[in-house]
């Protein structure tokens, strides 16, 4: 019951953000004076009503996906081959099949409101969310931190399952360290939390005068991000439809499960919409569930290493 109420509150907040962002977009781009709210007392009522409609939409969508009615509708609109591809073979007893089902639908539902933020990134509400030290920045930090911990746990599991395969184990360690570095880069290694000053030498090379490395290369990100997004998208597509003989246990362990496809697609859409911050959010969600998947596969010993 608590989880249900918490979910409704989160959906209400997202709905309000989207509604507010929509009216901000109309106000900025369609109003002659870029200001619609002067003398419009009922506008906030309209905004809240719109948010309410969105909330009802999310709830109905969840009901359709997770109730018996939803299961029957899925059989009509979701062909069996497509279902097996994204969710795993339902006919087989697989301890991870429920996880893949929930992961797929979670990524779809989570991605819709976050993607919409890309198209309203000019809105003050969205800018407040995406600002430095904002909700999204610290959320991505904890996503990456937890991902790093899960990969470290996967390292110990792999050593227990196959002690002689050190190369495999070191892959988990290196990836864990990489995500840990990215996590602390996101919050500038706690600079604003602890009030550290940026040295004059670092200011010469860092565009935002922060204690991190990635801002030194901001000039290249407009080229790096699109190339990275397209490569990830194409590699995933190529890997998800291979010839069956190449689907070894190591392939299943390291290659992203098809249930992660919505995150890849949303990341590409947000980048095409010109929003680097939202693109990063989706990529970090992708890393989180990718790390969780590898940990669960090793935990349930679903591969032969």
Question: What is the reported pLDDT for 90?
Answer: 46
Ranges of the chain with pLDDT below 70: 1-95, 118-123, 125-126, 129-130, 133, 191, 193, 195-196, 198-212, 214-219, 239, 241-249, 273-274, 302-305
Question: What is the reported pLDDT for 253?
Answer: 80
Alpha-carbon distance 48 to 43, whole Å? 9
The alpha-helical segments, DSSP class H, found in 131-165 are 135-161
Six-digit token string for 239: 């890997």
123 exposure class (CB count in 10 Å sphere: 0-12, 13-18, 19+): buried
DSSP label at residue 244: G
Alpha-carbon distance 203 to 201, whole Å? 5
CA dihedral sign, ordered 136, 138, 144, 149: negative
**Tens digits of per-residue pLDDT, 156-180?**
988 888 777 778 888 899 999 999 9
Residue 55 inside a domain? The answer is no
Question: What is the reported pLDDT for 187?
Answer: 81
Tally of CB atoms within 10 A around 12:
16
Residue 154 inside a domain? The answer is yes
Residue 234 inside a domain? The answer is yes
End-to-end CA distance of the chain: 41
Residue 100 inside a domain? The answer is no
Question: What is the reported pLDDT for 39?
Answer: 45
17 exposure class (CB count in 10 Å sphere: 0-12, 13-18, 19+): buried
140 exposure class (CB count in 10 Å sphere: 0-12, 13-18, 19+): buried
Question: What is the reported pLDDT for 21?
Answer: 57
* DSSP sequence for 175-219: HHHHHHHHHHHHTGGGHHHHTPPPPHHHHTT-TT--S-SGGGGTT
Residue 98 inside a domain? The answer is no
Question: What is the reported pLDDT for 139?
Answer: 83
Residue 235 inside a domain? The answer is yes
Helix orientation angle between 276-299 and 261-272, rounded to the nearest 10 degrees: 170
Quick check: 132 and 174 in contact, CB under 8 A?
Answer: no
Angstrom CA distances, 72 to 14, 87, 105, 179, stand at 28, 16, 16, 40
| Domain total in the chain | 1
Q: What's the domain range around 169?
A: 128-299
- Residue 168 CB partners (closer than 8 Å, separation 6+): 158, 162, 250, 305
Residue 200 inside a domain? The answer is yes
Six-digit token string for 68: 């018996």
Residue 221 inside a domain? The answer is yes
Owner of token pair 């002690």:
163
Six-digit token string for 110: 């989570």
- What SS3 state is found at 79? coil
Question: What is the reported pLDDT for 38?
Answer: 46
């Amino acid at each position: 019951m608590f989880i249900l109420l918490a979910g409704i509150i989160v959906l209400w907040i997202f709905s309000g953000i989207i509604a507010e962002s929509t009216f901000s977009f109309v106000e900025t781009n369609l109003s002659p004076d870029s200001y619609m709210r002067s003398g419009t007392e009922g506008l906030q009522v309209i905004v809240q009503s719109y948010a309410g409609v969105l909330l009802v939409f999310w709830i109905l969508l969840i009901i359709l996906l997770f109730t018996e009615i939803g299961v029957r509708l899925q059989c009509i609109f979701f062909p069996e081959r497509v279902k097996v591809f994204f969710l795993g073979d339902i006919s087989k007893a697989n301890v991870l099949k429920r996880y893949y089902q929930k992961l797929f639908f979670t990524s779809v539902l989570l991605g819709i409101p976050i993607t919409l933020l890309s198209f309203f990134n000019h809105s003050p509400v969205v800018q407040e969310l995406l600002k430095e030290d904002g909700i999204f920045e610290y959320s991505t930090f904890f996503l990456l931190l937890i991902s790093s911990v899960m990969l470290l746990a996967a390292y110990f599991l792999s050593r227990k399952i196959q002690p002689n395969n050190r190369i495999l184990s070191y892959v988990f360690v290196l990836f864990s360290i990489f995500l840990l570095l990215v996590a602390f880069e996101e919050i500038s290694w706690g600079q604003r939390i602890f009030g550290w000053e940026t040295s004059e030498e670092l200011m010469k090379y860092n565009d935002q005068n922060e204690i991190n490395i990635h801002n030194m290369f901001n000039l290249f990100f407009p080229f790096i991000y699109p190339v990275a997004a397209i490569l990830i998208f194409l590699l995933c597509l190529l890997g998800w439809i291979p010839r069956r003989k190449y689907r070894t246990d190591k392939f299943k362990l390291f290659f992203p499960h098809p249930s992660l496809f919505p995150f890849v697609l949303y990341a590409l859409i947000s980048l095409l919409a010109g929003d680097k911050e939202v693109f990063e959010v989706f990529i970090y969600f992708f890393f989180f569930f990718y790390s969780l998947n590898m940990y669960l596969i090793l935990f349930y010993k679903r591969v032969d290493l």
